[in-house]
Amino acid sequence: MLDLGDSGALFGLIDGLGHGLAAAAAAERAVAVLAENRAEPLDVLMVLSDHALADTRGAAMTLAMLYFGTSELSWLGVGNVSTCLIEATPTGPAARDTALLLGGIVGYRLPATLPSQTTKMRPGDLLLMVSDGILADHGDAIDLSKPAHVIADDILSGYAKEIDDAFVLAARHRGTKQ
Ligand SMILES: [Mn+2]
């Protein structure tokens, strides 16, 4: 998560291709680019990251920008980092909106167009991003009565595949100040 002061926050999950040190190096380089250019639009951030990762293995990456004033959330994903907004429903936690992921690899093969989508993040909503090292049934671990970091820990400890790096990002909208 990168802070944009009062205006918003940029969330991102970057999964370097493969695993181990070379994968981590690609991800670290993308993080540096995002930190330096955090105020840029998501498609620009994706292109800048693609350039910066050109001599690495590349990465899957989803970015999500939350604008505090409007609670609008824009997201853009290339490769397999699943991202959704989870809300409480009478029958339990459910995904209200899911980011459309574009095929490709950041640093190697970026899609020709990079359309972001915009949704609304409501108070209580949980933004959840998981890498493909997390098993698909991880939704079973989500207990919205717990703090976001505990939910992330629960998913990571119970649903990580043994053969891949696994990453989880969970962030909750706690409402706006009156
Ligand atoms: Mn992976």
Query: Which tens digits make up the pLDDT trace of 35-78?
Result: 999 999 999 999 999 999 999 999 999 999 999 999 999 999 99
The span from the CA of 139 to the CA of 106, in Å, is 27
* One-letter amino acid for residue 145 of the chain: S
What stretches of the chain adopt beta strand conformation (E)?
Answer: 2-3, 8-16, 59-67, 72-78, 81-89, 92-98, 101-102, 117-120, 126-131, 168-172
What distance in angstroms lies between residue 70's CA and the mean position of ligand 1's atoms?
Answer: 33
Interval between CA 131 and ligand 1 midpoint (Å): 6
Task: Pinpoint the alpha helices (H) of the chain.
Answer: 21-36, 42-52, 148-159
Answer whether 76's CB lies under 8 Å from 46's CB: yes
17 CA from centroid of ligand 1 (Å) = 6
Question: Ligand 1 centre and the CA of 163: distance in Å?
Answer: 9
- pLDDT the model gives residue 163: 84
Average pLDDT, the chain: 94
Q: Could you read off the pLDDT of 103-161 as tens digits, one per residue?
A: 999 999 999 999 999 999 999 999 999 999 999 999 999 999 999 999 999 999 999 99
* Residue 29 three-state SS: helix
- What ranges do the domains of the chain cover? 2-172
Residue 38 alpha carbon to ligand 1 centre in Å: 24
The share of the chain scoring above pLDDT 70, in percent, equals 98
| CA 126 – ligand 1 centroid, Å | 22
Q: How far is the CA of 134 from the centre of ligand 1 (A)?
A: 8
User: pTM for the full model?
Assistant: 0.94
**pLDDT band of 3, cuts 50, 70, 90:** confident
Task: For residue 168, report the phi and psi dihedrals to the nearest 5 degrees.
Answer: -135, 135
CATH topology for 2-172?
Phosphatase 2c; domain 1 (3.60.40)
